[in-house]
Amino acid sequence: MTVPVTPIPASIVPFDPTVGVAVVASVMVTVFVAVMAFLALAPIVSEKWSKQLAATGRPSLETEAGDAD
């Protein structure tokens, strides 16, 4: 009695793990680029965003009279 030779997958994973990692990494890079593009273009498109992202005050290196040591 011989066992018939059939193309049985070598593992229970239905896809190559390398392909899965590449897909997840591609999605993450796409989301990152989309967020960076939004932050770069939002002040140009909307006046409200340009006011929110603009630096209105500067940090001071001098201590004020009420600051504790």
Band the pLDDT of 36: cuts 50, 70, 90.
very high
Query: Please, is 21 exposed, middle or buried when counting C-beta atoms within 10 Å of its C-beta (0-12, 13-18, 19+)?
Result: exposed
Structure tokens at 40: 């770069």
Q: DSSP letter string over 48-62? A: HHHHHHS--S---SS
pTM listed for this prediction: 0.52
pLDDT surpasses 70 at 5: no
Q: What is the residue extent of each domain of the chain?
A: 19-51
Task: Report the share of the chain in percent with pLDDT over 90.
Answer: 25
Band the pLDDT of 32: cuts 50, 70, 90.
very high
CB 22 within 8 A of CB 16: no
Place of tokens 């290196």: 61
pLDDT reported for residue 7? 61
d(CA 21, CA 25): 6
pLDDT, one tens digit per residue, over 52-63 is: 766 665 666 666
